């Protein structure tokens, strides 16, 4: 089909744009994203030495997990809210544990919930022991005769440099909960895009090399690794940031001499700064932010409820945003939705290059 159309050079396109601007310089349309990173109003195939290839993936689709967060101050109430969410289409509930949960606590929290059908995720507060929670969760599973090999999820410790026994926790997880990820690197939404990527890759480097020094094989720590990314409202930049993170992860594995057939596992949530006081504004923003996360290739997306009271209605709308992206927009059906967009590809690669240079300087 493309052979039926004449090729149009970049120069021809630019002359057309300049004419339409009626004397306004083309440079006035350049978007300065950050120092060393700017975006032109359009890109052309001539901007690439070779056509950009889709990002490597082991999946033929772009499907992702639908998350929702629950505070466990009341275990019974959290269980009821989680079951409602699961009925509404959530398949990756996320529970915030402020302290260590006993086997009985896990039993009450997950009553009526089949762990084999979903991804179970836990965020641990400063007072919640990673290893203790892992062991108590495993004891609960053993008591209910669950097949641990079929389970997936994560235990996220916000302070990744805390003085815990990462080696013991990693070994326990590898042996008893192989489908769970307990090593998490964070990409903040409150700093420059390149800085957030540099920080995330540097955290990953520190965790993997530290565990390697303690005798944990790289393949084991890599299998338990995930990135948690806070995204904001800058639609194209957030798409590029997620895609650049995948390239940086592949570069990191290659530099460590590890097999790079393990693509980055990326979970996405909204940065606190992106939320407004107005619930209606948040609903609109949630749609575009979730779309940027999906196009960027996130593996799990948690959409923040539009209302600050987290009521039933705002939680339902947050879920439905993701259902619309899947069931009506079919964003999950294409392996790399951003592939082939010169605009996205250019920002992705330039952002990744800047972040990698900063990472190398940091190490």
| Terminal CA-CA length for the chain | 49
How high is the pLDDT of residue 48? Answer: 87
pLDDT in tens, the chain (363 residues): 557 778 889 899 889 888 898 888 888 889 999 989 999 888 888 888 888 877 766 677 899 999 999 999 899 999 999 999 999 999 999 999 988 899 999 999 999 999 999 999 999 876 668 889 999 999 999 998 888 888 999 999 876 555 567 889 999 999 999 999 999 999 998 899 999 999 999 999 999 998 998 888 899 999 999 999 999 999 999 999 999 999 999 999 999 988 767 889 999 999 888 888 888 888 899 999 999 999 999 999 999 888 666 678 889 999 999 999 999 999 999 888 998 899 999 999 999 999 999 999 998
Contact 296/242 with Cβ under 8 angstroms?
Answer: yes
How high is the pLDDT of residue 2? Answer: 59
65-362: CATH, from 3.40.1160.10, 1.10.287.3610, 3.40.50.10470, 3.20.20.240: 3.20.20.240
Q: Give the integer Cα–Cα distance in Å for 94 and 321.
A: 18
How high is the pLDDT of residue 162? Answer: 57
Q: DSSP states of 274-313 as a string?
A: G--S-HHHHHHHHHHHHHHHHHHT-SEEEPPPSSTT--HH
Beta bridge pairs of residue 12: none
* Maximum pairwise Cα distance, the chain: 75
Domain ranges of the chain: 65-362
Q: Give the integer Cα–Cα distance in Å for 17 and 25.
A: 10
pTM greater than 0.85 (yes/no)? yes
Of 116, 112, 114, the closest CA to residue 81 belongs to 112
Q: Give the integer Cα–Cα distance in Å for 195 and 189.
A: 10
Q: DSSP states of 232-258 as a string?
A: -S-HHHHHHHHHHHHHHHHHHHHHTT-
Q: Give the integer Cα–Cα distance in Å for 286 and 290.
A: 6
Of 327, 325, 253, 316, the closest CA to residue 293 belongs to 325
- Hey, is 152 helix, strand or coil? strand
Number of H-type helices and E-type strands within the chain: 11, 11
Positions of E strands within the chain: 31-34, 37-39, 65-71, 92-99, 119-127, 152-157, 180-181, 183-187, 225-231, 266-270, 300-302
How high is the pLDDT of residue 163? Answer: 53
């Amino acid at each position: 089909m493309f052979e039926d159309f004449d090729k149009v050079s970049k120069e021809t396109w630019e002359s057309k744009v300049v004419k339409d601007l009626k004397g306004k310089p083309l440079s006035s349309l350049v978007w300065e994203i950050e120092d060393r990173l700017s975006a032109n109003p359009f890109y052309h195939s001539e901007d690439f030495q070779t056509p950009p290839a889709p990002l490597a993936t082991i999946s033929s689709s772009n499907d992702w997990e639908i998350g929702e967060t629950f505070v466990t101050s009341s275990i019974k109430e959290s269980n009821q809210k989680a079951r409602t969410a699961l009925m509404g289409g959530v398949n990756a509930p996320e529970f915030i544990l402020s302290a260590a949960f006993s086997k009985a606590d896990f039993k009450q929290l997950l009553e009526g919930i089949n762990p084999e059908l979903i991804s179970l995720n836990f965020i641990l507060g400063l007072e919640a022991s990673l290893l203790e929670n892992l062991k108590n969760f495993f004891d609960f599973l053993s008591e209910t005769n669950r097949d641990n090999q079929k389970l997936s999820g994560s235990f996220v410790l916000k302070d990744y440099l805390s003085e815990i026994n990462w080696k013991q926790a990693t070994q326990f997880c590898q042996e008893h909960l192989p489908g769970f990820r307990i090593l998490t690197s964070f990409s903040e939404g409150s700093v420059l895009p390149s800085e957030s990527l540099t920080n995330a890759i540097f955290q990953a480097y520190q965790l993997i090399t530290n565990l390697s020094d303690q005798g944990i094989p790289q393949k084991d720590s890599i299998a338990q690794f995930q990135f948690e990314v806070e995204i904001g409202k800058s639609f194209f930049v957030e798409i590029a940031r997620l895609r650049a993170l995948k390239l940086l992860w592949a570069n990191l594995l290659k530099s460590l001499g590890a097999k790079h057939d393990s693509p980055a596992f990326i979970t996405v949530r909204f940065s606190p700064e992106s939320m407004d006081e107005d619930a209606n504004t948040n609903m609109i923003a949630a749609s575009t932010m979730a779309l940027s996360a999906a196009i960027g290739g996130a593996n799990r997306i948690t959409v923040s409820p539009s209302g600050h009271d987290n009521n039933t209605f705002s939680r339902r709308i947050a879920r439905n945003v993701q259902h619309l992206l899947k069931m009506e927009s079919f964003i999950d059906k294409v392996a790399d939705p951003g592939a082939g967009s010169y605009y996205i590809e250019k920002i992705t690669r330039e952002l990744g290059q800047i972040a990698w240079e900063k990472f190398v300087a940091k190490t």
